[in-house]
Amino acid sequence: MDVAEKLNLLAHDAQYDLACACGTKNNDDHRKRGTAGSWLYPATVPGGGSGILLKTLVTNVCTSDCKYCPLRLNGTSRRVSLIPDELAAFFIDLYHRKNLMGIFLSSGLLDTPDKSMQLLIDTVSILRRKYQYRGYVHTKIIPGASDESIIKAISLSSAVSLNIETPGENYFSKLSSTKKYLEDIIKPLKLISSLTDKQSRYKKVKTSTQFIVGASDEPDQEIVKYMWGLYDRLNLHRIYFSAYQKGLGHPDIPGENVIAQSADNIFIREHRLYQSDFLMRSYGFTYQDFIFGSGGNFDLSKDPKQQWADSHPEFFPVSIKHSSKEELLRVPGLGPVIVKRIISFRKTAPISSLDSIRLPEYLLKKASPYLTA
Same domain, 251 and 330: no
The pLDDT score that the predictor gives to residue 42 is 52
- Tens digits of residue pLDDT in 9-65: 776 666 666 544 444 344 444 444 454 444 455 554 444 555 678 888 898 888 888
The pLDDT score that the predictor gives to residue 60 is 86
The pLDDT score that the predictor gives to residue 27 is 41
- Tens digits of residue pLDDT in 284-328: 999 999 999 989 999 999 999 999 999 999 999 999 888 999 999
Same domain, 256 and 282: yes
Q: pTM of this prediction? A: 0.87
* Domain count along the chain: 2
pLDDT of 252 above 90:
no
Same domain, 205 and 74: yes
Same domain, 349 and 216: no
Same domain, 164 and 298: yes
Q: How many angstroms separate the CA atoms of 153 and 97, rounded?
A: 27
Residues of the chain with pLDDT > 70: what percent?
87
Q: Mean pLDDT, to the nearest integer, of 183-188?
A: 97
Higher-pLDDT residue of 360, 7: 360
Domain closes at, from 305, 325, 350: 305
Lowest-pLDDT choice from 35-44, 127-136, 176-185, 342-351: 35-44
Q: Mean pLDDT, to the nearest integer, of 216-235?
A: 96
The pLDDT score that the predictor gives to residue 171 is 96
Domain closes at, from 275, 305, 335: 305
Same domain, 265 and 234: yes
Q: How many angstroms separate the CA atoms of 263 and 267, rounded?
A: 7
- Identify the bridge partners of residue 52 per DSSP, sorted by sequence position: 42
The pLDDT score that the predictor gives to residue 56 is 84
Same domain, 157 and 267: yes
Same domain, 272 and 351: no
CATH of the domain at 318: 1.10.150.320
- Split at pLDDT 50, 70, 90, the class of 89 is very high
pLDDT of 342 above 80:
yes
- Split at pLDDT 50, 70, 90, the class of 341 is confident
pLDDT of 274 above 50:
yes
The pLDDT score that the predictor gives to residue 259 is 56
CATH of the domain at 269: 3.20.20.70
- Split at pLDDT 50, 70, 90, the class of 238 is very high
Same domain, 158 and 247: yes
Same domain, 293 and 361: no
Same domain, 290 and 359: no
The pLDDT score that the predictor gives to residue 260 is 56
Domain closes at, from 305, 335, 356: 305
Q: How many angstroms separate the CA atoms of 373 and 369, rounded?
A: 11
Domain that holds residue 75: 3-305
The pLDDT score that the predictor gives to residue 39 is 45
Same domain, 258 and 338: no
